[in-house]
Amino acid sequence: MAEERIAVEFIVPETQRRDVLREIERNGGVVESSSELYVRGEGDPPLGADSRFDPLIVIACVVSAAYFLRQAAQAWHDFRVTGGTVIDFRDGKVRFYQLDSADRGTFVVMTDDAPPSIHRPNDGSDVMQQIARQLSQTALPPGDG
């Protein structure tokens, strides 16, 4: 049985672009594009003031669900990150990005059918289970189903 793969958009500062591309490819992901500038959409939280000086880039790729969950778990447990993390499942997409304005370690999960859910470290919630459940409902990229 083949490993499940999902289409993801990682939104990262331009200065981190190369490192993220290498990490994705090293883990068997396929990068489709990595030069589109991120433009905040309606309902998206503001990401922080630093993005004016270091533009945010959208890296569109296909990765394994396991890799995506590892990235989410790493963000959830990494207290060196100064802000929070957003995983956005709206509009049939999966987007992953940092949210400077959130408290350290905070996770915001956004879906079409519910208000954003906010999770903080040690709040007793199983945010990884929620993310895995949302991933299982996400459509596979074309050609992978």
Q: Over the stretch 9-46, which tens digit does the pLDDT of each residue have?
A: 999 999 999 999 999 999 999 999 998 999 888 877 77
* Beta pairing, strands 84-88 & 107-111: parallel
Number of separate domains in the chain: 1
Specify the pTM: 0.85
Residue 143 lies in a domain: no
Is 34 part of a structural domain of the chain?
yes
Please check whether residue 141 lies inside any domain of the structure.
Answer: no
Residue 131 maps to a domain: yes
Tell me the residue type at 13.
P
Residue 141 and residue 9: Cα distance in Å, rounded?
12
**46-95 residue pLDDT tens:** 766 554 578 899 999 999 999 999 998 888 777 667 788 999 999 889 99
Q: Which domain holds residue 101?
A: 5-136
- Sorted by sequence, the CB contacts under 8 Å of residue 85 that are 6+ apart come out as 72, 75, 76, 96, 97, 98, 99, 102, 106, 107, 108
